[in-house]
Amino acid sequence: MAWSIPLIAEASHFRRLSQATLAELASSGLVLDTPPFRFRIRSSSQPLADALFAAYAGYKVLDDRAFVDFDLSVLPVKSWRRFVAPLITLDFDGLLPFDPLPAAQAFPLLEWGMNWCVTSNAHQYLMCHSAVLAMGERALLLPAPPGSGKSTLCAALMLSGWRLLSDELALIEPETGLLTPFVRPISLKNASIELVARRFSLAEMTCPVVDTIKGTVSHLKPTAESLAGARQRAVPKLLVFPKFVADSPLKSTELSQSEAAVELARNAFNLPAIGVLGFEALTKAVEGCVCYSVQYGNLDDVIAWLDAQVDQDVEARHE
Amino acid sequence: MSKPVTNNRLIEALVSPVAVASWTEADWGLAFRQARSANLVASLGDYAETGLGRGVMLPAAQAHLRAARNLIVQRNAAVAWEAGQILKALAKRQIRPIFLKGTAYVLAGIPLARHRHFSDIDVMVPKEDMAEAEKQLMLAGWLPSNTDAYDQRYYRQWMHEVPPLRHVRRGTVIDLHHAITPLTARYQANTPLLFEGRRSLLPSISGADVLCPEDMVLHAAVHLFSEGEAENGLRNLLDVSELMDHFIAGPMGTEFEGKLASRAFLLGLSRPLYLAVRYLRRVLMQDRRIRLEALMESAAPRALKLLALDRIYHRVFMGQHPTQTLPGNRPALAALYIRGHWLRMPTKLLLPHLWRKAINPRR
Query: What does the pLDDT look like over B282-309, one tens digit per residue?
Result: 999 999 999 999 999 999 999 999 999 9
Q: From its phi and psi, is residue B245 left (phi > 0), alpha (psi between -120 and 50) or beta? A: alpha
What is the percentage of chain B residues whose pLDDT exceeds 90? Answer: 74
CA-based nearest residue in chain A for residue B24 = A65
Q: Are B205 and B107 in contact (CB under 8 A)?
A: yes
Lowest mean pLDDT among A252-256, B23-27, B324-328, B338-342: B338-342
Element housing A209 (H / E): strand A209-212
Which residues have C-beta within 8 Å of that of residue B105, sequence separation ≥ 6?
Answer: B112, B113, B116
Q: Are B161 and B214 in contact (CB under 8 A)?
A: no
Nearest CB among B37, B67, B68 relative to A94 is that of B37
Give residue-wise pLDDT tens across range B51-98.
999 899 999 999 999 999 999 999 999 998 999 999 999 999 999 999
- The per-residue pLDDT for B276 is 97
Q: How far is B62 from chain A (nearest CA, A)?
A: 9
- Inform me whether the C-beta atom of residue B115 falls under 8 Å from chain A C-beta atoms: no
Tell me which residue of A173, A167, A118, A114 sits closest to A141, measured CA to CA. Answer: A167
Distance CA B195, CA B193 (A): 5
**Which of chain B's residues have a Cβ under 8 Å away from the Cβ of A124?**
63-64, 66-67, 70
CA-based nearest residue in chain A for residue B321 = A94
Distance CA B48, CA B23 (A): 10
Burial class (CB in 10 A: 0-12, 13-18, 19+), B344: buried
**Which of chain A's residues have a Cβ under 8 Å away from the Cβ of B24?**
65
Give B160's pLDDT tier (boundaries 50, 70, 90): low
Distance CA B135, CA B93 (A): 10
- The per-residue pLDDT for B188 is 84
Asked if B71 and A123 come within 8 Å (Cβ–Cβ), the reply is: yes
Give B363's pLDDT tier (boundaries 50, 70, 90): very low
Q: Which residue has the higher pLDDT, B100 or B343?
A: B100
- The per-residue pLDDT for B152 is 72
pLDDT above 90 (res B348)? no
Q: Are A170 and A138 in contact (CB under 8 A)?
A: no
**Which of chain B's residues have a Cβ under 8 Å away from the Cβ of A92?**
none
- The per-residue pLDDT for A5 is 56
Q: Are A131 and A179 in contact (CB under 8 A)?
A: no
Burial class (CB in 10 A: 0-12, 13-18, 19+), B223: buried
Q: From its phi and psi, is residue B109 left (phi > 0), alpha (psi between -120 and 50) or beta? A: left
End-to-end CA distance of chain A: 21
Please give the single-letter amino acid code of residue A256.
S
Sign of the torsion angle spanned by Cα atoms B110, B114, B116, B117 = positive
Q: Quick check: helix, strand or coil at residue B155?
A: helix
Which residues have C-beta within 8 Å of that of residue A116, sequence separation ≥ 6?
Answer: A92, A97, A98
A157-A159-A164 Cα angle (round to 5): 65
Asked if B77 and A38 come within 8 Å (Cβ–Cβ), the reply is: no
Asked if A121 and B64 come within 8 Å (Cβ–Cβ), the reply is: yes
Asked if A274 and B58 come within 8 Å (Cβ–Cβ), the reply is: no
Instruction: Write a three-state SS string for B91-120.
Output: HCCCCCCEEEHHHHHHHCCCHHHHCCCCCC
Q: Are B8 and B318 in contact (CB under 8 A)?
A: yes
Nearest CB among A65, A124, A272 relative to B67 is that of A124
- The per-residue pLDDT for B186 is 79
**Which of chain B's residues have a Cβ under 8 Å away from the Cβ of A38?**
29, 60
Q: Are A288 and A261 in contact (CB under 8 A)?
A: no
Please give the single-letter amino acid code of residue B27.
D
pTM of the model: 0.91
How many CA within 13 A on the CB side of residue B67?
26
Residues in a beta bridge with B99: B123, B210
- The per-residue pLDDT for A315 is 67
Asked if A69 and B60 come within 8 Å (Cβ–Cβ), the reply is: yes
Give residue-wise pLDDT tens across range B200-210.
987 777 778 99
- The per-residue pLDDT for A78 is 82
Distance CA A164, CA A182 (A): 9
Distance CA A227, CA A163 (A): 8
Chain A residues with CB under 8 Å of a chain B CB are 9, 36, 38, 64-71, 93-95, 121-124, 174, 272-277
pLDDT above 60 (res B1)? no
Distance CA A73, CA A44 (A): 9
Provide ipTM, 2 decimals: 0.92
Q: Are B43 and B116 in contact (CB under 8 A)?
A: yes
Q: Are A285 and A179 in contact (CB under 8 A)?
A: yes
Give residue-wise pLDDT tens across range A23-80.
999 999 999 999 999 999 999 999 999 999 999 999 999 998 999 999 999 999 887 7
Reported residue count of chain B is 363
Distance CA A145, CA A179 (A): 19
Nearest CB among A174, A274, A276 relative to B71 is that of A274
> What would the mean pLDDT of B173-181 be, rounded to a whole number?
91
Which residues have C-beta within 8 Å of that of residue B121, sequence separation ≥ 6?
Answer: B79, B82, B83, B86, B99, B102, B103, B172, B173, B174, B175
- The per-residue pLDDT for A11 is 58
Asked if A124 and B66 come within 8 Å (Cβ–Cβ), the reply is: yes
Phi, psi of A62 (to 5 degrees): -95, 160
Sheet containing A186-189: order of strands: A186-189, A215-220, A209-212
Question: Which portions of chain A are predicted below pLDDT 50?
Answer: 1-3, 319
Element housing A14 (H / E): strand A14-16
Nearest CB among B60, B68, B77 relative to A67 is that of B60
Q: Are B54 and A91 in contact (CB under 8 A)?
A: no
Distance CA B80, CA B133 (A): 19
Tell me which residue of A95, A90, A263 sits closest to B38, measured CA to CA. Answer: A95
Tell me which residue of A243, A247, A246 sits closest to A255, measured CA to CA. Answer: A243
Asked if B73 and A275 come within 8 Å (Cβ–Cβ), the reply is: yes
> What would the mean pLDDT of B98-126 be, rounded to a whole number?
93
